């Protein structure tokens, strides 16, 4: 855990309900161990979307559609979300949740592997939410940046891996070492890339917020 439990619980106590549908989706997802964005991170995500007022949002990792619906609740009326998911059971659940929320026209779900889909997208996307395979963030980053205009914002979730990111390579389980090293590379790249301004925030499982400050990055 990154944040003291008492602080986390206090932050949770400040949050209002997300509405009957989103609250139900969250309860069911947690009961089934389906990964969804943590409450405190969700509050930050919604605040950034509300502040940015994007014209188009890209989400990499739909799961059951919870975070997409949270963003849809605060985005401008003209904004649309494109979201990517490859796991069939979650695709079915997400489509049903979008239908129940009457968001089928504003949320486009692309079925398949982000590795294949991302290079085919045209963009631009003013706001991009990365919440998929953590070991792939560093590989997807060049394509993601190519889809962002100057001033575009990238929100990357789960970047501190519940605090384990501070451990040395040999301080984590062998099976987690590849993801661990790739995430460290990803965070270093975000913080040192010219034309990108980034903050890494110890909230939830860690979030990184990056803004493209130049048209060309390199």
pLDDT of residue 25: 95
- Four-point Cα dihedral 77, 78, 83, 88, nearest 10: 70
pTM (2 decimals)?
0.91
Superfamily of domain 5-212: Vaccinia Virus protein VP39 (3.40.50.150)
Structure tokens of 158? Answer: 């789960």
Strand partners for 211: 153, 197
Three-state SS annotation for 123-165: CCCCEEEECCCHHHHHHHHHHHHHCCCCCCEEEEECCCHHHHH
Q: What is the C-alpha separation between 129 and 147, in angstroms, rounded?
A: 12
pLDDT string in tens for the chain (218-residue length) = 566 788 888 888 888 888 899 999 999 999 999 989 999 999 999 999 999 999 999 999 999 999 999 999 999 999 999 999 999 999 999 999 999 999 999 999 999 999 999 999 998 999 999 999 888 999 999 999 999 999 999 999 999 876 565 565 545 566 556 667 788 899 999 999 999 999 999 998 899 999 999 766 65
Contact criterion met (CB below 8 Å) for 159 and 183:
yes
């Amino acid at each position: 855990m990154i944040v003291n439990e008492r602080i986390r619980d206090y932050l949770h106590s400040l949050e209002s309900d997300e509405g009957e549908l989103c609250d139900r989706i969250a309860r069911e997802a947690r009961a089934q161990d389906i990964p969804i964005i943590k409450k405190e991170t969700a509050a930050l995500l919604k605040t950034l979307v509300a502040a940015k007022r994007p014209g188009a949002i890209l989400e990499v990792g739909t799961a059951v559609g919870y975070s997409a619906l949270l963003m849809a609740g605060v985005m401008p009326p003209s904004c649309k979300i494109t979201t990517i998911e490859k796991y069939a059971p979650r695709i079915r659940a997400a489509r049903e949740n979008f239908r129940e929320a009457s968001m089928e026209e504003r949320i486009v779900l692309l079925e398949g592997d982000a590795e294949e889909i991302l290079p085919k997208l045209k963009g631009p996307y003013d706001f991009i939410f990365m919440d998929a395979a953590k070991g792939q963030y560093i590989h997807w980053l060049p394509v993601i940046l190519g889809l962002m205009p100057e001033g575009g914002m990238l929100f990357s979730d789960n970047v501190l891996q519940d605090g384990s990111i501070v451990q040395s390579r040999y301080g984590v389980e062998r099976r987690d070492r590849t993801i661990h090293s790739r995430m460290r590379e990803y965070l270093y790249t975000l913080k040192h890339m010219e034309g990108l301004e980034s903050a890494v925030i110890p909230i939830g499982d860690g979030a990184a917020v990056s803004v493209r400050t130049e048209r060309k990055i390199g």
